[in-house]
Amino acid sequence: MQELRVKFIENIKRTATVRSFRFIPQENIVFQAGQFLQLIFDPANRANNDLNKYLSFSSAPGKGYFEVTKRLSESNFSKQLRSLKPGDEVLVKVPLGSCAFKEEYQRIAFLIGGIGITPVIAIIEHIAARKIATDTVLIYSNRTEEEIAFKKELDSWQVDNKNIKIFYTVSDSLPRDNRYIRGRIDKELLSVRLPDIKERIIFIFGPPKMVEAMQQLCLELGCNKEKIKTESFLGY
């Protein structure tokens, strides 16, 4: 773990409310896909949880830059992110977290809702870029089609890598695209779309209630608790 300054270079729109923030580190950052960092806007007061928050890497390791992604709100932290200008420097603490992808995994699945997609992007981009043979299934739930972040990238990786399969679910409206599944992630959906769930490493990222619900579904379907890897997103 280290602390270092990073330079902001770009703000990228993902949906109407979700933005990615791209930074260049002053020195090489070594992290695993699935890990996260702390972005420190108030280094003088490390206990300031309003301005010093944790965000997942939403880009694969090994690049000359990294990204973090957030659904922006009216919080002070979101306002600080919005105010960043190219060339601004920010302090980060990296890397954090143990819920990371390992290339030895043969079959994995992600059960994800909304902004929980951020660390998944780092993992799937890593798998796609390195042409890793891991059999990968993402089940990604959003309230509407418009809220699906990184859809262009996910679709491209799925086309380019036959080992990557993605299912989109929409819960609050009838999807216009008939490839999307109407409804939430539930036991019936997992039984149909992920019949070999018990043989896979399962990653669950997101708000605590979502993580708890997905973990319980997996256990009810007979998954080994040791194969379920979770990370709860707090205070965003």
| pTM of this structure | 0.95
Cβ–Cβ under 8 Å, residues 47 and 40:
no
Residues near 45 by Cβ (< 8 Å), separated by ≥ 6? 52
Instruction: Determine what percent of the chain is predicted with pLDDT higher than 70.
Output: 99
Residues 119-154: pLDDT tens digits?
Answer: 999 999 999 999 999 999 999 999 999 999 999 999
Output the pLDDT for position 176. 76
Say if CB 204 and CB 227 are below 8 A apart: no
The predicted pLDDT at position 235 comes to: 59
What is the residue type of 163?
N
For the chain, the average pLDDT equals: 95
H/E/C letters for each residue in 29-68? CCCCCCCEEEEECCCCCCCCCCCEEEEEECCCCCCCCEEE
Q: Quick one: pLDDT band at residue 234, thresholds 50, 70, 90?
A: confident
Q: Which two tokens stand for residue 20?
A: 């990615």
> What is the arithmetic mean of pLDDT over 96-115?
96
Asked if the model's pLDDT at residue 21 lies above 80, the reply is: yes
Q: Is the pLDDT of residue 236 over 60?
A: no
Domains of the chain: 2-96 (2.40.30.10), 107-232 (3.40.50.80)
pLDDT digits (tens, 9 = 90+) for 177-203: 778 899 999 999 999 999 999 999 999
What is the pLDDT, as a whole number, of residue 85? 98
What is the average per-residue pLDDT within 31-56?
97
pLDDT category, 1, cuts 50, 70, 90?
confident
> Which tens digits make up the pLDDT trace of 150-174?
999 999 999 999 999 999 999 887 7
